[in-house]
Structure 1
Amino acid sequence: MRLRSPLDRVVTADVPVVDDAAVNEKRALDKEANLSTGLAGADRESNDSSDEIDTTAQAGVQRIEAFTKVWTKRDLILAYVCIWFIYFVDAMQSSMSNSLVVYVTSDFMQHGLTATTSVLSGLIGGLSKLPLAKVLDIWGRPQGFVICLTCLVIGLIMMAACNNVEMYAAAQVFYWVGYNGVIYTIGIFIADTTHLKNRGLLLAFASSPYIITTWIGGPLAKAFLNGPGWRWGYGAFAIITPVVCSPLLYLFWINTRRAKESGLLPARPQNNRTAWESTKYYAIEFDLLGLLLIVTGLALFLLPFNIYSRQPLGWRSPLIISFLVIGFVLIIAFVLWEKYLAPKTFIPYDLLKDRTVLGACILAGTLFISFYIWDSYFFSFLQTVADLDVTPASYVMNIYSIGSCFFSFIVGFVIRYTGRFKPIALYFGIPMTILGISLMLKFRTEGVNVGYLIMCQIFIAVSGGTLVICEQIAAMAVTTHQYIAVVLAVESMFSSVGGAVGSTVAAALWNSIFPERLMEYLPEETKGNFTEIYGSLVVQRSFPVGTPTRTAINLAYSEAQKWMLVASTVIQVVSIVSVLVWRDVRIKDFKQVKGLVI
């Protein structure tokens, strides 16, 4: 007999609605939820309206509610100052790393694997958030934060010490599990300490450092490349990051102690389990087998699209065929395990039955698929075809970060004062995304003026700042406080899987189009250097602009980029449908959290 998940009790429609049809739909959904769980919607509503700690919530949720009851306004302000600086350092490191990655792969003569290095790390980084959500809910927010910070530092150390692309890719797994986890944990903390109507604005505040670090990442990367080398770029942040995170950890510790002294913390249940029993308990609680099946299955299924061109027989290679077959079998095994055998499922299917949550998750996945298709080789394009140096190329690349973070403030204010998010996404965010990507089809070619590329980046940045805020608010608006961590983990899982799929599509298109066109366009005198030219951005840039070889390289880039942009534009059809299915929820006066919050 299957164990019932706490998510079986999610009430997905206990929110203000817009019209009579929506009211009727709310009643029908409430009735269905109450029949399956025995939990009356009126009871949940009265519980949420009270400022008492929810004793039915999981221990981690009770602890954060106790935390917000004992801390002072000064602590609240200090916490957000700490969060801003953590985001600043992480954004600066991430911006620098985006500029360094092409030089890392080129150092090992594997420039074509630039997108491939992020496939496995993107998958695991996203899928790990569901177990992390359980850590945050069962153990607590500080414990999850420390675990993620440790993974991040290990990843930075491994990247600084790597000797090949394979080790760099493995280091990326640790880094992105840690980086995504730190940002995710902070996002949950923001949700814990803000009213829903203000949450978009505070999420925008937390990401605002990207506006500044955009101008720092490129010069910083160049300084390391021209100075001690890219390895020290990663090594330096392995020291800086934990130092910057320490003040927030201290705030966690001191206020947890206050809550304990006040008698507000839930008593820890006595644990008489043996080591083996504890291992078995947590393996079931976190659905470890399901996690391993889906991560391994997706990785083996997606990797062949990235590496087939490097196999002597291409798609007929035994390695490629075995990866595809085993990956597909493991994905099917995951589905069967989750449906028939898992005591506790990895993916909260009951939560995904809500059309607003599912629509928000699909939108997140679609946006990341589209983004990684057109973005994966954009930095290389800017340095070769547009002939920009590292610093100006990084500025163009990071227009998205600047614009999306800046415009998310505007979206946060609009949501704050209107209490609406669906019209903003549907009538503004989606059209701007389609406009920006489709215009790049015309302008991302050999000989184009960089100003047109900047214009397209601005359009996409504005839409990105709109849709990311709206999708997260949509997912959180239809659930209660104790399920926020899980619902954001699911949304993030879709984003990361989408990113992995997008990187895979980008790598597959690149490896099938670019080398073929490059060999076709190269003049006879340099065809003998094909392997070096294909494998290194540095070698590509070594040929002066206007020479036949550089022109051939630029034309091959343009051809590959064209088909990437076609794929990126077409996938936006799914984005339109995913927003249309959202309920038009009004969140202006919706109370979701307790204690001293913003």
Structure 2
Amino acid sequence: MRDLLARFTRPTEVPVPEEKPHPENDKEIGVVDNQPRSIDGESDADAIDSNAQAGVKKIEATTKVWSRSHLILAYAFIWIIYFVDSMQQGMGTLLNPYVTSAFALHSLTATTGVMSGIIGGVSKLTLAKILDIWGRPQGFLIVVLLMTLGLVMMAACNTVETYAAAQVFYWVGYNGLSYTLSVFIADTSSLKNRGLMLAFISSPYIVTVWITSPMTESILNGIGWRWGFGIFSIISPIMCLPLFFLFTWNYRKARKAGLIVFEPSGRTTWQSISYYFWQFDVICLVLVSGGFALFLLPFNIYSFQYYGWRDPLTIALIITGGVLLILAVVWERFYAPVKFMPWELLKDRTVLGACILSAVLFVEYYIWTAYFTSFLQVVMNLNVTQTGYIGNIYSLGACFFSFIVGIAIRYTGRFKWIVLYFGVPVTILSIGLLIHFRQPDTYIGWIIMCEILYSFAGGACVIGEQMAVMAAAAHQHVAVVLAMEGMFSSVGGGIGGTIAAAIWTGLFPNKLAEYLPAESQANLTAIYGDIQVQLYYPVGSPTRDAIVLAYGESLKWMFVAATAITGLGLISVMMWRDIKVKDFKQVKGRVV
């Protein structure tokens, strides 16, 4: 990645200072001496990589000087952060339809997450550069601040537009936080044990699935959804800061030990702003984020336009989004001083296959789960707590099974077979079964069975795809390949949410108009826009039966679409090399 990110093809009109490929990155906030250094008589093979970027050198220096107790403490802090954030994220998922319904726009439940998912995913490549150039703790602090800002905005929002904007800040921060912690795990664990460590940091979900649902129901019946977000806007940053200070403390310890040498860059403030503007390829970030968002948005909102697909706004958004994406490709190919997308890494079939699988899994997940919690409440007549328990089966089962996957990788040294022969096929099976079991007269146990199968398969796929991208890259490339995997997944989530919203807005109101009895036709708009209005009608009443039938018809095609798209996952896994992770060493210093 060093050669790729440093490949400057500057146009003559771009005023970027002439500097060497990577030392300039190091000099901005500190550089590890380019000469390999060692402590306690270690071998040169375990010395700090002189060719890596500053952020990688800093974390390697940090892991060399910290004690075993600090290593254990770091993992304890990471576990606590995941514990708090899993409660917060689970609560947000359950509150989402109630927030959109508060503005009489329940149909936009999936739409609010489209732009936030896309921007949150694309921004990971910028975050990867921050982690590699400035350092891991600095990037960590930035995403914590963004997540907190998003929570504050959600607590204070008065319109669905403000809520959607808050979702952008929140998901950029939340996804960035999860991504940064994954990079920490990659920095501090050997490759053969990494699957187990990834399973360990996900284990809080095993506990929080039992807490989130009753907590959310209590919030809805008590302090309200605004304070639900407000409480976590206070708790979350407090729980994140100890890890930041632990890494900062050991970074300073490494500087005192002479492993890190600070050198001023010699640039003025304006020169630094200009330098990082091109280094982070802000132009491509804006073009890609805006292009995807504008292109996908019409599929979510076309039913709200007077002329539907023929409406000038719908057509203009699709065309503008497409043009922006074309401009992004042209910019990257011919004009970008520093490439936003590390194309050469994507040429590796294992990295590309893992990224495609990640996108496929998120597309299918966001298609069939977009309105699934609403389905459980309206069609299956479950309360919020029961809905949360069933909705959280995936988190519980995936986290539990990921330990089994991690142990299997630890002792076999391989990961491809788990995903190819179990993960993806069982995912297809479980979603396919839900095509049949979506009906209102279905025994809830069958749905739970499908969720359990899906969760076990998910645990295998998630660990497998992350292991694939990391095993195919050197330590200095780990942050960027994880960012690419995260970008594919987030864009996939945006596409999945778009497909779900398009199916829902295209089918659900039409089916309501077809099935609603004459006395309820006047309330069609209110029923369509508010889940609480849907729940108002008693079970067994003609209106509730009509709503249930409309749900069944709409969700059928969501499950069909999700099942079909998951078939691409098998092809993507076949692309992977069968890498044996026991065969090489990737990280240095005191690691797990």
Q: Give the TM-score of the pair, scaled to structure 1.
A: 0.92
Deviations, residues 515-569 of structure 1 (Å, cap 9, x unaligned)? 1001100000000000100000000011011111001000000001000011001
- Does the CA contact (< 8 Å) of 2:48 and 2:588 recur in 1? yes
SS at match of 1:571: helix
Provide, for residues 409-434 of structure 1, a one-character-per-residue CA deviation record: whole Å limited to 9, x for no partner. Answer: 00000000000111111011111101
Among 494, 508, 516, the alignment partner of 2:502 is: 508
Q: Contact between 1:49 and 1:591, CA under 8 Å: does it hold in 2?
A: no
> Take 1:184 and 1:49, find their aligned partners in 2: how far apart are those partners?
30
1:588 CA drift (Å): 1.7
Amino acid at match of 1:200: G
- State how far apart, in whole Å, the 2-side matches of 1:428 and 1:481 are: 29
2:188·2:591 contact (CA, 8 Å) conserved in 1?
A: yes
Q: Which amino acid aligns with 2:188?
A: T
The correspondence for 1:165, drawn from 160, 168, 174, is 160
Confirm or deny that 1:378 pairs with 2:372: yes
AA aligned opposite 2:4: S
The 5 Å alignment of 1:202-221 reads 202-221=197-216
- Residue 317 (structure 1) aligned to one of 311, 317, 320: 311
Q: Which position in structure 2 is the counterpart of 1:293?
A: 287
Decide whether the 8 Å contact of 2:284 with 2:328 is kept in 1. yes
- Cα gap change, 1:483 to 1:531, in 2 (>3 Å): same
Q: Kindly provide the amino acid, as one letter, of the partner of residue 113 in structure 1.
A: L
Tell me, in whole angstroms, the C-alpha distance in 2 between the residues paired with 1:334 and 1:324: 15
Moved more, 413-422 or 310-319: 310-319
- Alignment of 1:54 with 2:53, yes or no, is no
2:326 corresponds, among 332, 344, 350, to: 332
* Cα pair 1:4 1:344 within 8 Å, conserved: no
Matches within 5 A, 1:143-222: 143-222=138-217
Please tell me whether the aligned partners of residues 5 and 338 of structure 2 are also in contact (alpha carbons under 8 angstroms): no
Residue identity opposite 2:100 in structure 1: T
User: Which residue pairs with 1:240 in the alignment?
Assistant: 235
Separation of aligned partners in 2, 1:89 and 1:385? 31
Aligned to 1:5: 4
Partner Cα separation in structure 1 for residue 427 and residue 92 of structure 2: 25
1:136 to 126, 131, 134: 131
Whether 2:530 is the aligned partner of 1:531: answer no
| Closer, same or farther: CA 49–217 of 1 in aligned 2, 3 Å | farther
CA contact (8 A) 1:7 1:348 kept: no
User: For residues 273 and 590 of structure 1, what CA distance do their matches in structure 2 show?
Assistant: 40
Pick from 517, 520, 531 the counterpart of residue 514 of structure 2.
520
Alignment of 1:455-470 (within 5 A): 455-470=449-464
Determine if the alignment matches structure 1 residue 92 to structure 2 residue 87.
Answer: yes
What stretches of structure 2 of length at least 5 have no aligned partner? 8-35, 37-41
User: Which residue does the alignment assign to 1:350?
Assistant: 344
CA shift for structure 1 position 225? 0.8
Deviation by residue 1:153-177 (Cα, 9 ceiling, x = unmatched):
1000000000011100000000011
- Percentage of pairs with the same residue: 58
Matched positions, count: 558
**Cα displacement (A) at 1:272:** 2.3
SS in 1 for 2:581: coil
* Cα separation, 2, equivalents of 1:269 and 1:353: 36
Give, in whole Å, the separation in 1 of the partners of 2:541 and 2:384. Answer: 21
User: Are 1:369 and 1:498, in contact at CA under 8 Å, matched by a contact in 2?
Assistant: yes
Equivalent pair of 2:82/2:201 in contact (CA under 8 Å): yes
Measure the CA separation in 2 of the matches of 1:575 and 1:206: 25
Contact 1:102/1:114 (8 A) holds in 2: yes
1:48 and 1:274 map into 2 onto residues whose CA distance is 40
Partner residue of 1:270? Answer: 264
Find 2:98's aligned residue among 100, 103, 109: 103
Give the C-alpha shift of residue 7 in structure 1.
7.9
8 Å contact from structure 1 (residues 201, 409) kept in 2 = yes
Contact 1:436 1:459 in 2 (8 A): yes
Report the 3-state secondary structure (helix = DSSP H, G, I; strand = E; otherwise coil) of the residue aligned with 1:591. Answer: coil
Residues 391-410 of structure 1 aligned to structure 2 (within 5 Å): 391-410=385-404
Name the structure 2 match of 1:576.
570
Match of 1:80 among 75, 80, 86: 75
Matching of residue 422 in structure 1 with residue 416 in structure 2: yes
**Structure 2 Cα separation of the partners of residues 563 and 491 of structure 1:** 28
Alignment partner, residue 16 of structure 1? none
Q: Which residues in structure 2 correspond to 1:360-379 (within 5 Å)?
A: 360-379=354-373
Gaps of 5+ in 1: 9-42
Shift of 1:5: 2.0
With normalisation by structure 2, the TM-score equals 0.93
Q: Closer, same or farther in 2 for the Cα pair 1:596/1:198, shift >3 Å?
A: same
CA distance in 1, matches of 2:444, 2:6: 50
Query: Are 2:428 and 2:567, in contact at CA under 8 Å, matched by a contact in 1?
Result: no
RMSD: 1.4
Mapped contact 1:360–1:474 kept (Cα < 8 A): yes
- Amino acid of the residue matched to residue 111 of structure 1? H
**What is the letter of the counterpart of residue 532 of structure 1?**
A
| Letter of the structure 1 residue corresponding to residue 554 of structure 2 | A
Give me the whole-angstrom Cα distance separating, in 2, the residues matched to 1:530 and 1:404.
Answer: 39
User: Residues 344-397 of structure 1, C-alpha deviation per residue, up to 9 Å, x if partnerless?
Assistant: 111110000000000000000000000000000000000000000000001000
| Alignment partners' CA distance in 1, 2:268 and 2:414 | 51
Q: Distance between the aligned counterparts of 1:287 and 1:500, measured in 2?
A: 22
Q: Give the 3 Å change call, closer, same or farther, for CA 54–389 of structure 1 in structure 2.
A: same
Alignment partner of 1:446 is 2:445: no
| Distance across 2 between alignment mates of 1:391 and 1:479 | 43
Aligned partner (choices 539, 542, 546) of residue 545 of structure 1? 539
Q: Residue type matched to 2:262 in 1?
A: R
How big is the shift at 1:48?
11
Partners in 1 of 2:458 and 2:58 — Cα distance?
Answer: 34
Encode CA deviations 1:228-265: one digit per residue, 9 max, x unaligned: 11000000001101111122122112111111110111
Following the alignment from structure 1 to structure 2, what is the Cα–Cα distance between the partners of residues 5 and 482? 12
Q: 1:416 corresponds to which letter in structure 2?
A: R
Indicate if the aligned counterparts of 2:366 and 2:493 stay in contact, CA closer than 8 A: yes
| C-alpha contact 1:115 1:376 (8 A) present in aligned 2 | yes
